[in-house]
Amino acid sequence: MPSSGGSGFLVQTAAGSSVGRLVTGVAQFHNFAPINVVRSERGAAEPCKRFPDVPEVATEHPGWADEVREAAAGRPVSVALDPTGGGRWRGALWTS
């Protein structure tokens, strides 16, 4: 698992997009530990090839939010980047 530039992780949706790949690369360059969220396992294929050490979580799995928490290993999510918008994150990763 990559080291974190702070005490937590950067979690992003649309991680398989061009912008998502750029954000992952920049996050790693600055020693932030990204966790990438994609819609499907198929969508995770390219980011997994480019960034094999970065956890990829597919929202097609019913327990995807738990998978993100597991990838964070108890450390906080410092930044959540959601370029897709919508209500997917609301209540999924935090309780307050």
Return d(Cα 4, Cα 96) in angstroms, integer: 23
Backbone angles phi, psi at 29, to 5 degrees: -60, -35
- In this prediction, residue 91 has a pLDDT band, given cuts at 50, 70 and 90, of low
Whole-number percent of the chain with pLDDT over 70: 80
15, 17, 21, 23: CA torsion to nearest 10: -70
Q: What is the pLDDT of residues 44-60, one digit of tens each?
A: 788 888 899 999 999 89
**3.40.47.10, 3.90.110.10, 3.40.50.720, 3.20.20.190: CATH of 9-81:** 3.40.50.720
